[in-house]
Structure 1
Amino acid sequence: MKPTIEITPLSKADIPGAVECIQLAFAEDPYFQWVFDTTRFDPGRNRASLTARCLWGMSCALFYVAKERQSSDDNDDQASVLGVSCWIPPQPTNQRRSWKTYFHDALLWLRQLRNNVLYLGRGGLRTRRYRLWKNHQREVQRELWTDPQGYYFCNLVAVRPDAQGRGIGRMLIDVVTQKADREGRRCYLESSREVPNVGIYQRMGFEMVRTMVCEEEGDECKLYCMIREPEIKGSVE
């Protein structure tokens, strides 16, 4: 039987494979290189942080994994995680955040505080740069997110380097953009690579709307902000 790729919601059993996938995919990423001091980077601390975020995402986000099954008899534990995507659901402007979201945000904060204690720090994260990026991100999203319905925000998409070129990234994008199309909602993402990512996302319907520049002490990181309009089936150009 030919191996098959399935896109499924993240489960607790998937988390170790998802974390490994993210670490491998972002090892050479420009944003990673900018926001972490690679001479002090602690993979174990980073695994703990990503695990905490996966647990948060299972309750508050649309978190998917791409898994390869070698045969129809394979169970979930035998399927390899080849890709991951995490989408923040839309937050309409007339709708308050739920208590569930506040609770899980607080739980994430506590888990990360525990990680700071256990690992004696943030594992090489440049906190000043991280906060600089978060501030820029808030400002840009405040300017660009003008739709009162809110946006599906692709917070993360990662594919293992040895599994790239098989259309897995597209599958992890399509699972939410198709949902957004049915609901008539826009999607948004930020890419840290102009080439080849921007061209790939453009072929999926995203358009460049802003280049976010984060700079500290002459060291610069660019993030390419893109929005996708919903596709209406049966529409005539």
Structure 2
Amino acid sequence: MGVAIRRAGEGDREDVVRLLDAAFMQDPVSSWIFPGEEYRLRTHGALMGAFFDLALSEGYVDITEDGAAVALWWSVPAGEHHEGDDDGPALLRQAVDADNERVETVGRLTEAIHPTDRAHEYLHLIAVHPDRQGEGLGTALVTAVLDRCDREGLHAYLEASNTRSRDLYTRLGFAFMGTTLDLPDGPRMWPMWREPRTAGEAAV
């Protein structure tokens, strides 16, 4: 039986932010941005809310019909980088936690490594409710977009924030781009790129 997926809207904000907050609370990158559990519990949700708002205004959000899993995507044209974009991480920091420079740092570092030469679908975040992990919901969300990428000849890109997700994305056709993003005194991230597959490749 397939997983029912729909496009999320503003009315889903509270549920999606709650899901993102729960799913990423112990993620290595989130723990680096917001060191200390009490501090993270207070502040982490604001970052997840900002990410949802950005995805809704500049990209799209896919959610399973039962609300147990969600993915935030951007469609990035080739050459997508403007001088004004440099203000994005600073604005995010002001919106989330003005005293926390790590909010801005991670944004600037991921921007710096983001490929700009080819149009692609960018998987920014994907979350599955902790009680529903292992059911294939995240894979269903990703493959729904990757199938479209294959049909339309589009590339895809993401940054894996832990080895478990890196290995999952490898199975879905993503390849590590060769250089990790090592956060200052923090965890490692793996930029990953996926070439569109032909029908013959997809069947292998």
- Please give the TM-score of this superposition, normalised by the length of structure 1: 0.71
CA shift at 1:178, angstroms? 1.4
Match of 1:207 in 2: 175
SS in 2 for 1:85: strand
CA shift at 1:57, angstroms? 2.1
Higher strand proportion: 1
Higher helix proportion: 2
Match of 1:128 in 2: 101
Shift in CA distance, 39/155, structure 1 to aligned 2, threshold 3 Å? same
1:226 to 183, 192, 198: 192
Does structure 1 conserve the Cα–Cα contact (< 8 Å) formed by 2:81 and 2:116?
Answer: no
Match of 2:112 in 1: 139
Match of 1:88 in 2: 74
Which structure ranks higher in relative contact order (CA pairs < 8 Å, sequence separation ≥ 6)? 1
Q: Distance in 2 between matches of 1:23 and 1:166?
A: 20
Query: 1:35-74 to 2 correspondence within 5 Å?
Result: 35-39=33-37, 41=39, 43=41, 45-68=43-66
User: For the aligned residues, what is the CA RMSD?
Assistant: 2.9
- Count of paired positions: 196
CA shift at 1:62, angstroms? 1.9
Does structure 1 conserve the Cα–Cα contact (< 8 Å) formed by 2:77 and 2:120?
Answer: yes
Unaligned runs of 5+ in 2: none
CA shift at 1:127, angstroms? 2.7
The one-letter amino acid of 2:196's match is: P
SS in 2 for 1:89: strand
Unaligned runs of 5+ in 1: 69-80, 117-121
Q: Distance in 2 between matches of 1:34 and 1:96?
A: 27
1:171 to 131, 140, 163: 140
Deviations 1:150-200 (A, max 9, x none): 221110011111000010011111121112112211100101101x22111
CA shift at 1:16, angstroms? 1.5
Percent of aligned pairs sharing the same letter:
23
Deviations 1:25-69 (A, max 9, x none): 11110001101132552646543443344233223212111132x
1:192 to 161, 185, 202: 161
Larger radius of gyration: 1
Shift in CA distance, 52/220, structure 1 to aligned 2, threshold 3 Å? closer
CA shift at 1:224, angstroms? 0.8
Match of 1:27 in 2: 25
